[in-house]
Amino acid sequence: MGTELLAPLDLAFWHLESDAHPMHLGALAVFTPAPDVTPPHVLGLLRTRAAAIPRLRMCVRDVLLPVGGAAWTVDKDFDVHRHVRRVAVDEGDFMAGATRLAGELMEQPLGRGLPPWQMYLIGGTDDGPFAVLVKLHHALADGMRAVAIGAGIFDEIAATTARSAARGRPAVPPRSWLPDPREVAGMALGRIGEVGRALGVGASVVRAGRLDLRSTAFTAPSSGTRRLATADLDATALQRIRRAEGGTANDILLAVVAGALRRWMAERGEAPAGADPRALVPVSRRRPGGAVSGNRLSAYLLDLPVGAADPRERLRAVRAAMDRNKAAGPLKGAGAVAVLADQLHPLAHRFGAPLAANAARMLFDLLVTSVPLPRSALSLGGCPLSALYPMAPLARGQSLAVALSTYGGRVHVGLVADGKALPDLDRLADAVEEEFEELRELVTGGRMPAPVS
């Protein structure tokens, strides 16, 4: 594997980071123990399989050309022991302890001179449950790419990779930064079209920007601390709601998040009838069979209808807004601000990152994203994966990010918050489960829940 220039959006994520604002995403994977599988054995598997993933051997180095650019290069001194470690949980409640510890680990920025990722084996007793925390810098991967990279630690994926290697199939190389001359003309035409779209997005960003920045729990000054919480929803019940109410599963989950925020804000004494918080909802621009590296993202903006007291009214409002977003497409509107990053010179990312980071709160208050997972059952060393909670990074000046994934008949919700701004994050996680249950009862003929005033 040779040298590969960071794509513009990857470079933006790389320069947006500071010690107080780490730009890594992650996941907390929880496993059920299997007989005779010891922590040292699992740790060895993690190290062996992580070391076999070519992308995880790459680090970022500055380059002379283009000026201000950077490239992925192989770390000649790569040592997997620097990246995969074991940490212990002392609490009697394993999930509570693992979540607390994961929050502390997510606070810590990744080393800039090494491949930007870490894995932690989190365990208590030798025969008890354990978890694996995976941290990947956002420059390394978006949500879908992170899943593809992280999946290499599972038995089923590792076995497939080993069989391919045994048959002599080379690993898929990264996208070259030197294009085939026959592709140059097509690339030029494509770039002209992208610049035109970017100009339209830029105008939308200006129109959507909010000059009257409100001070809320979601936009409190960043402390650099991190707190995690998790929630679990019934995926079968989610599909029943979808069949009854229409729309997509993602529409329903967004409406549930809106209802949970309404409930939580009311308990904190914040009026839900005020201005609705605006969510950034990422959308993948990755094409099937396309380049496997780099971030390919756009996003929609969605005002979460926390002011609506009726759960069905909230769902209808979310559906209508998302339908409008989808009709416009992921390359239009202020939410597609990531498209702008693809048009900027590397120097603009290097010197303009602080300004761009501080401008995020002008567009949105929190992030809500769905991360697709493989549908097949997964395991590590014969230990079944029981849950996987995705974790999204926080933008500068913002306090909450919500990520959701479906696996094993459950929707796993990972909430990441600024630890000082949202010390009651566990209550918000409970509100997510309560709101989902009330919507399920309402749709399936249960009693109508009393509105939260």
Q: How many CB atoms lie within 10 A of CB 295?
A: 27
349 has a pLDDT exceeding 80: no
Q: How far is CA 394 from CA 133, 238, 397, in A?
A: 17, 27, 8
pLDDT attached to residue 263: 94
**Residue 353 token pair:** 């990152």
DSSP string for 283-352: EE-PPTTS-SSS--EEEEEEE--TT--SHHHHHHHHHHHHHHHHHH-TTSSGGGHHHHHTTS-HHHHHHH
- Strand 278-284 relative to strand 297-303: parallel, antiparallel, unpaired? antiparallel
When pLDDT is cut at 50, 70 and 90, the band that residue 337 belongs to is low
pLDDT attached to residue 13: 83
SS3 of residue 363 by DSSP = coil
**Which range, 62-66, 165-169, 313-317, is most confident?**
313-317
When pLDDT is cut at 50, 70 and 90, the band that residue 251 belongs to is very high
Q: How far is CA 334 from CA 16, 102, 208, 359, in A?
A: 19, 33, 6, 13
340 has a pLDDT exceeding 60: no
* CA separation for the pair 189, 59 (Å, rounded): 32
311 has a pLDDT exceeding 50: yes
Rounded to the nearest 10 degrees, how much is the dihedral formed by the CA atoms of 90, 93, 99, 105? 0
Share of the chain above pLDDT 70, in %: 73
Give pLDDT tens digits for 124-155: 667 788 999 999 998 887 667 788 888 889 99
* CA separation for the pair 110, 113 (Å, rounded): 9
Mean pLDDT of 305-312: 93
When pLDDT is cut at 50, 70 and 90, the band that residue 346 belongs to is low
Strand partners of residue 229? 415
Tokens 């997997």 map to which residue? 80
Mean pLDDT of 86-100: 89
When pLDDT is cut at 50, 70 and 90, the band that residue 191 belongs to is very low
pLDDT attached to residue 369: 92
More confident residue, 49 or 353: 49
Considering only 4-13, 32-41, 48-57, 96-105, which range has the smallest mean pLDDT? 4-13
Considering only 19-23, 40-44, 170-174, 313-317, which range has the smallest mean pLDDT? 170-174
CB 405 within 8 A of CB 208: no
pLDDT attached to residue 183: 39
326 has a pLDDT exceeding 70: yes
When pLDDT is cut at 50, 70 and 90, the band that residue 59 belongs to is very high
Rounded mean pLDDT of the chain? Answer: 80
